[in-house]
Amino acid sequence: MSIKMPSLTPSSLSSLIPSSVPSEVQNVQGKDCMKEAIGADKIARQFSQAAKHYQEHDKVQRLSAQRLRTKMTPIGRLLDIGCGPGTDFSAAPGLNEVLGLDIAPGMLSQMLESFPSYKALCGDAQALPLSDASIDTLYSNLALQWCSDIKTAIGELARVLKPGSQCHLAIVVDGSLSELDALGLRVNAFEQAQTLLDGFSDSHWQIEHHSVEPLRVHFDDLKTLLYSIKGVGASAAMGSDVSQGSDVTQDSDASHGPDDTQGSVSKPPPRLRGRQDWLALCERAEKMRQPEGLPLTYQILFIHASRRG
């Protein structure tokens, strides 16, 4: 099922701001609140609704996928966790089967339209619907950060991988979306990279290579920047405790941005309620503008590991 995205013309700005500012990022008081408040069904619905429009807003996903695949040679039976609308693995002659797993049926429908030979699995990374030692290559691009229990998910990866098989992951980590912090837009806390790496420290894993790399994307304006989050279904995973009639980020204690913008944006008022506050927010965002556009920076942990026998 497709959804009609709100128009981005100035005349329709009021439809984007029902009682405050646009709804692309949700307010949350912290990681634990997010994980308690957001159910898997809600996340699945959000991503399913975004499926038709996903590839209009997936700049960072495409950049991350390119980097992730430079260090992998997939073979045999590949499992793509959080597959979204699908990844093209046709350049990997060693593959004989691709399984795409996603929590959102809408994403799986899009994948099968583009890649009819793939097999679709609707499920959760924390309870993979697969037999033990049944996968030769495991791939996941910017999906595992939405797991409420990442250690359980890592355990599931070890369970389904064959001994000696490869695991290739890209995960959003702490320090991401700092430009939104600088604007006072409260976003969820991502896990620290070391916490995730600690999950691979047991006897099941050998980490071959890991790195944290910033991926920065640019947008023409603030609405487009925020749609890059909502458009890929991610807003549901950022929680909400805003006032009635508003599903947008409001107050925040955060006042620091990335090094090249820190100090250039003053701390916003405690609440953003309406058109004037939204326009003021846009003005503050303009102070962050770079030659390429308004920046949004993700910190991505890349992990290439093998399953020990």
So what's the pLDDT on residue 58?
77
Domains defined for the chain, CATH in brackets: 10-307 (3.40.50.150)
Rounded to the nearest 10°, the torsion over CA 64, 70, 75, 77 is 0
With tokens 């929590």, the residue in question is: 103
Phi-psi region of 233 (alpha: psi -120 to 50; beta: other; left: phi over 0): left
So what's the pLDDT on residue 295?
98
Look up the pTM and report it. 0.75
So what's the pLDDT on residue 228?
83
pLDDT tens across the length of the chain (309 residues): 222 222 223 332 233 332 333 333 333 222 332 343 346 676 667 666 655 665 656 789 999 999 999 999 999 999 999 999 999 999 999 999 999 999 989 889 999 999 999 999 999 999 999 999 999 999 999 999 988 899 999 999 999 999 999 999 999 999 999 998 888 887 767 899 999 999 999 999 999 999 999 999 999 999 989 888 775 545 433 333 322 223 343 333 332 333 333 333 334 334 556 889 889 999 999 999 999 999 999 999 999 999 998
So what's the pLDDT on residue 55?
61
Phi-psi region of 174 (alpha: psi -120 to 50; beta: other; left: phi over 0): beta
